[in-house]
Structure 1
Amino acid sequence: LRVGCPLMLIRNLLPPKQCNGTCLVGKSLMPHLIEASIVTECGRGENVFISRIHLYPSGSDMPFHFCRSQFLVRPCFAMSINKSQGQTLSVAGIHLWEPCFSHGQLYVACSHVGSRNALFVYAPQGRTRNVVYSEVL
């Protein structure tokens, strides 16, 4: 992790602003704390502090105890279409190395950008299909 790196929360910390999938930008990295700024819709621009937490295994039959420390974030240079749901993006690039396989998935991917000039789609096959199940409509 580095300052300026895009991050994504991987657990709910303080809903509704710090939920699983919330995108952040790291501002300051310390040994036990990360200062970050929220870049997603809910709480945009707000500074948050994410501390390192300790995780202990449950139901362990081992004769010793161990603890795992981690920040509940991961680098977020890219995200899946499903993770992008509910977010508004200023610029988006969609890499379709395989066609969409679920009802409305292409629509969801393309509808999170306000302007079509800020949407970039890469489909190696040259074309893709929009999957729509008429029985769902």
Structure 2
Amino acid sequence: NTDDILLPRISFSASLPSGHTLIRRQYPLAPAYATTFNSCQGLTLDKIGISLLQPAFSHGQLYTAISRIRNRHNGAVLLPPHSRTTTNVTYSEILV
């Protein structure tokens, strides 16, 4: 995806007793990280965001990811446009 995303730069200024002016410029970004479904197993997370634009690639991965969060109100799931569900992936050829 080559879309440009514009971030506003925020400036703060303060006059110091010495007569100098301090100017601070920053971007409104917060540190974050990404992980896989499997590597989050055993963790407890305060917030979680899950992208399901592509379905989880194996059975149980979505449950593993969703069950890692402390409070269900701090989770978000991104689904494809106009969709309210995702696919529960199973491979019948490997089931006995």
TM-score after normalising by structure 1: 0.39
Work out which of the two has the higher radius of gyration on C-alpha atoms and give 1 or 2.
2
Q: Distance in 2 between matches of 1:116 and 1:132?
A: 26
Q: Distance in 1 between matches of 2:56 and 2:69?
A: 18
Matched, 1:103 2:59: yes
For residues 63-78 of structure 1, the aligned pairs below 5 Å read: 77-78=33-34
Once the 2 structures are TM-superposed, how far is the Cα of residue 119 of structure 1 from its aligned partner?
1.0
Q: Distance in 2 between matches of 1:106 and 1:112?
A: 10
Q: Distance in 1 between matches of 2:51 and 2:40?
A: 13
Q: Which has the higher contact order (CA 8 A, sep 6+)?
A: 2
% identity of equivalent residues: 46
* 2:35 alignment partner, SS class: coil
Structure 1 residue corresponding to 2:43, chosen from 79, 83, 87: 87
Q: Structure 2 unaligned segments of length 5 or more: list them.
A: 1-31
Map of 1:36 onto structure 2: none
**Cα-Cα RMSD:** 2.5
TM-score after normalising by structure 2: 0.53
Q: Distance in 1 between matches of 2:61 and 2:91?
A: 11
Q: Distance in 2 between matches of 1:110 and 1:132?
A: 18
Deviations 1:56-81 (A, max 9, x none): xxxxxxxxxxxxxxxxxxxx711111
Length, aligned pairs only: 62
Matched, 1:130 2:88: yes
Matched, 1:112 2:68: yes
Q: Distance in 2 between matches of 1:87 and 1:130?
A: 23
Once the 2 structures are TM-superposed, how far is the Cα of residue 90 of structure 1 from its aligned partner?
0.7
